[in-house]
A and B are shown apart, each in its own frame.
Chain A
Amino acid sequence: MSSHEPEPHSEFDVPPLTETIAPGTASDPDVTSAETATVTVDGQEVEVEAGSTLLDAVEEVETDEYVPALCHYDRQDIGPRSECRTCMVETDEGVVPACSTPAEDGLDVSTDAAPASEARDVNLDLVLSDHNLRCTTCGKNGRCDLQDVSIENDVEEPRYGVLDDRDEYEPIDDTSDFIQIDRNKCILCNRCVEACNDVQVEGVLRMEGHGGDTRIGFQNGSDTMEGSTCVSCGHCVTVCPTGSLVEKGIEDATTIPLPGFNQKNSVGKVVESADVEKGPMTPMKRDQVTETTRETGGDEERDWP
C-alpha cells in the first residue's frame, strides 16, 4: 500500500485550525478566469478582470432578461456553491451557470435564449417547491433574497407549488438563545456552512445527508443548536438569504400582525431549549467528532406508486 494514505482534508493549503473541520461539502476547483477577459453579454462587450465569472460580466450590463443568481454570494470566500442553477445563461458552449463559469476571452453570452430562460424559471420554481413559503410569519419578510428574486422574476404561482405537506416539516430549532433555525425555509445554499467554517473558522455547521434528506447539521453530531459548539457569533445568520437562520428576539420582527400567526407556530413543531444550566462556555471543542463512517445506502427500493 502507499505512503500517501488519504486523510480527510489533510493536504489542503489551510491554516492548522481548520484541519479537523469537516463541512461535508465537495472541494470545488477554482472557477474564476485566470486572465482579464472580454466577453459579449447580449451583444454588449464587457471587459472583466482576472478572477471573474460570467456573472461578473452579466452584472456589469443591462441584460435582456433578469438573471436571478439566487445562491450566489461571492464575498468573504463564500461560494460559488452553484447549486440553485437559477443563473443559467446561454453561451457558444451551451447553457451554463453564470455564477461558476470562468469568464473566458471571446465568450458570447445570451440571457434571453429560450433554454437558458426556461432553466432559470424552472429551477427557481424547484427551489420554491421545497420551501415553506409563509412570508407573512417570517422573520426575514422584506429582507429575504428568495423573496426579492421571486418578485423580480415575476413568480406568481410556482409551477410545482410550495412545501405544504405538514408531515415533511422539520421542527423549528428554537434551542439556542441567539439563533433560530427553520430548515423548512433552507435552500441549501451553503453560505452559513462556509461562513462558520471558512470565515469564522468555528467548525460548527456542516452539510449532511443526501437526496431529499440533505440538510444543514452540526459537526459535533448534536441534534440541536444548543448542543452544538456554536459561539453565537451570528455570522451564519448574516449571510443566510432566507428566513432559515434568524436572530432570536427578532424572529417575528417583520411578521404581518394577524392574530395567532407567528413564525414559531407556522410549522406546528418547535424544539425548545432543554434549559439545562450552562457554564460560561460553549461545549468543548475537543468533544467535536466528525462523521467518519461513510454514508451508505440510498439505493433502497420503495413502493410504487
Chain B
Amino acid sequence: MSETVGSQRLAVRVAGRESGDVAAAARERADAPVVEAGSTGVPGVEPLLAASDGDETTFYANATPADAEAVADALAGDGALPDGDATVDTADAAALPLPDLDGFGAERSVLARCGWIAPTNPDAYADAVGFTDADPDAVVESAGGVLGRGWGDWSADEPVGPLWEGVRERDGSPAVVVNAHGNPGDALLGESDPFSVLEGAAHVARVVDAVQVFVYVSEDDEAARDALTAAADAYPDFPVDVSVVEGPAAYRAAEPTMAIEAVEGNHRLEARLRPPGPEVEGVFGEPTVVHTARTVAHVAAAVRGEPTDSRVLSVTGDADEATLELTADDALDTALDAAGVSDYTGVLVGGRFGGLTTDLDVTPTPDALDAADLGTDGVLEVLGPDACPVAFVGKRAQFAEDANCGRCVPCREGSKQLTELLRDVYEGSLDRPKIDELMRVMESSSVCAFGQHAPRPVRTGLQEFAEEFEAHAQGTCPAGQCLSDATGEEPARAKP
C-alpha cells in the first residue's frame, strides 16, 4: 500500500503531532492509504483527520482513535462518512484543501503541503511538486528576486540574488546556513515540508558552489529537527554535504552571526562584528549565505515557477496559535480574521521586537510594514482585550534586558536603562526626551538586529498608546491590570 498518495483519491490523512494513535486506528481498519502528515500550522485542531473520498475531503478536528475507526469503516464501504467539522472540494491532491476552520486562511502556496503529505517521504514530495534540478543560472534568473524573510536572514527584506553573486565570486569554500531557528513559520516548514526547505537550500548551494549546507534548528523544535534530519538522509542526490545542527532555544540564537557561531560549536553565543558580514567571513571564515527556512522555501517555489510574493505569518499571543499565508495584497487584519481573532487591544507586528499597532490595514510587504514602523518577521502577537499596553512594552524591554547576548553597551546597558525608565512611569515620571534619546542610540549603535530592533515595541507603543502612558504616570491603569492596589501603595517591583 502506498504511503505517498500523490494522486490517490481515496485516503485518510492525519495531521499534527501526537497523531500516531489516530493513524494507527485508521490503519487497522482501512484499505485506503493512511498518511501521517506533519502539522498544518494550526495546532489547536490537531490531530486533524482528513478523509478524502473522490473529489471531497471531510475534516475532523481534534480527532480520536474512535473517529479514525469510524472514518475508515465508512471509506471501506460500510455506510456514510460521519459528520465532520468541514468538507471541502479536493481539486488538487497535492495541496491541503483549506477547510473553513479558524486558523487556515484562504490561500496557501509555500505552506500548501504542510499537514497534507508525509513530510519525510521523498516520493510524496516528488508526486506533489517534484524535485527540480535547475542549473545555477536558471536559479538566479527565476529566484534572484525573492526577498529574504525573517530577522534570522542575512538578506532580510532584500533580494537574495546579489548576496549569492557576491559569495559566488569570492574565493574560498562557501557554506549555506538554513536558519530554521525559532520562528514558528520556519519551524513549521521544517517539520511539515522539509524537502521544500532542502530543495531551496540545494538550489542556493549550487548557485554559490557551496561545499556544505548546515540546517540550523532550535533545540526546542524537536519535530523540525527530526523531520529535517530524516529528509536530509532521504533526499535524492543532495548536491553537497548537509548536516542538521541544533542551537540553544534562546531568541537571540537566531541572529545570523550567532547562528554561525552555533554551527561552529562555540559554547557561548555572541553576535559578531560587521561589516564585513557572513557573505565575506562566515562559517569557519568562509563566505556564507544565511537564509531562513521561509526564504529557501520561497526560492524552491520560484524555481518551480510559482509566484513568491506571499508571506507566511504566525498569529501568537492572546490567541490560538496559527501559521498561515497571506498574499502581498491582503491586509494584516485578514490574517487575524482567519485566525478567529476579533477583539484585541493591539497587535505587535513583526516578531518579538516588532511594532505595536491597532491599525492592521497594512499589507505584509516590507515596504508597507516599514512605512508603518512595523517589523517584518512574520509574527502577529495579539494583545487581548484586557491587556495593558504599558505593561506589555515594559515587559518586552525587560525581555531585551534579560535575553541579549551581552556583547555591546547600547543593547546590554541600554535595554536595562530603558526598562528602568519605563518602571519610572509607574512612579509618575514619563521622560519622553530621555526615553527617545536612549532608543535612538540603541537603534543606531547596537552591533546586531537584536539591539537595533529592541526599542521598537516601546517606541511604537508610546505613539499608539500615549494616553495609557499618561494615565499610568498619573497613577491609574485604564486596563486595570497594573497598580491593582487602589490604596496607592507602590506596586511590587521586580529585582532589576
Query: Which residues of A pack against B, CB within 8 Å?
Result: 1-9, 11-12, 22, 24-31, 80, 82-86, 88, 94-95, 97, 100-102, 115, 118-119, 122-123, 126-127, 129-130, 159-160, 165, 167-168, 188, 206-214, 290-305
Contact = CB atoms under 8 A, between A and B. Distances in A.
Given A6-B264, A304-B394, A211 B491 contact: no
A276 B95 CA distance: 71
B432 interface: no
23 contacts: A2-B212, A3-B241, A7-B265, A8-B267, A25-B270, A27-B285, A31-B275, A85-B409, A85-B410, A88-B445, A100-B273, A119-B440, A119-B441, A210-B250, A210-B252, A212-B401, A214-B406, A299-B399, A301-B395, A302-B494, A304-B391, A305-B394, A305-B482
Interface string B223-255: 000000100100000000111110111111000
Contacts of B441: 118-119, 122-123
Contact of B413 (A25, A26, A127, A298): A127
B412 A211 contact: yes
Interface in B389-438: 391, 394-395, 398-399, 401-410, 412-414, 416-417, 420, 422-423, 426, 434, 437-438
Contacts of A5: 243
Contact of A295 (B248, B404, B446): B248
B416 A212 contact: yes
Given A127-B413, A212-B412, A300 B275 contact: no
Nearest to A11: B284
Contacts of B405: 210-211
B234 to A, nearest CB: 13
A31 B280 CA distance: 11
Contacts of A119: 410, 440-441, 444-445
B248 A159 contact: no
A293 B247 CA distance: 11
B275 A101 contact: yes
A82 to B, nearest CB: 6
Given A24-B270, A214-B412, A294-B248, A115 B407 contact: no
Interface in B271-290: 271-277, 280-281, 284-285
* Most B CB within 10 A of own CB, among A122, A123, A293: A122
A27 B264 CA distance: 10
Contacts of A97: 445
Chain B interface size range = 35 or more
Nearest to A101: B275
B305 interface: no
B266 A83 contact: no
A121 B20 CA distance: 60
Contacts of B416: 129-130, 212
B276 A31 contact: yes
Contact of B426 (A84, A168, A212, A305): A305
A127 B417 CA distance: 11
B243 A2 contact: yes
Contacts of A302: 395, 398, 402, 494
Given A6-B263, A29-B276, A295-B248, A305 B406 contact: no
B241 A126 contact: no
Contacts of B276: 29-31, 102
B257 interface: yes
Interface string B438-462: 1011001111000000000000000
A294 B247 contact: yes
A22 B444 CA distance: 31
B78 to A, nearest CB: 47
Contacts of A80: 273
B496 interface: yes
* Most A CB within 10 A of own CB, among B252, B395, B410: B410
B69 interface: no
* Most A CB within 10 A of own CB, among B257, B272, B284: B284
A207 B242 CA distance: 31
A50 to B, nearest CB: 15
Nearest to A85: B445
A95 B445 contact: yes
Nearest to B491: A305
Contacts of B492: 303
Contact of B242 (A2, A29, A85): A2
Contact of A26 (B271, B284, B394, B399): B271
Contact of A83 (B249, B250, B409): B409
Given A83-B408, A118-B440, A122-B438, A296 B250 contact: yes
Given A82-B273, A82-B408, 12 more contacts: A2-B212, A9-B265, A11-B284, A11-B285, A26-B270, A29-B277, A211-B404, A211-B406, A294-B248, A299-B249, A299-B403, A305-B426
A305 B390 CA distance: 10
B401 A211 contact: yes
A295 B245 contact: no
A11 B423 CA distance: 46
- Please give me the 3 A-B residue pairs with the lowest Cβ-Cβ distance, nearest first: A214-B406, A29-B281, A2-B243
A302 to B, nearest CB: 5
A93 B265 CA distance: 33
B237 to A, nearest CB: 16
A130 B410 CA distance: 12
B495 A296 contact: no
Contact of A188 (B214, B219, B398, B406): B406
Contacts of B265: 6-9
A31 B264 CA distance: 20
A296 B409 contact: no
A230 B417 CA distance: 35
A202 to B, nearest CB: 18
Contacts of A292: 267
B406 A84 contact: no
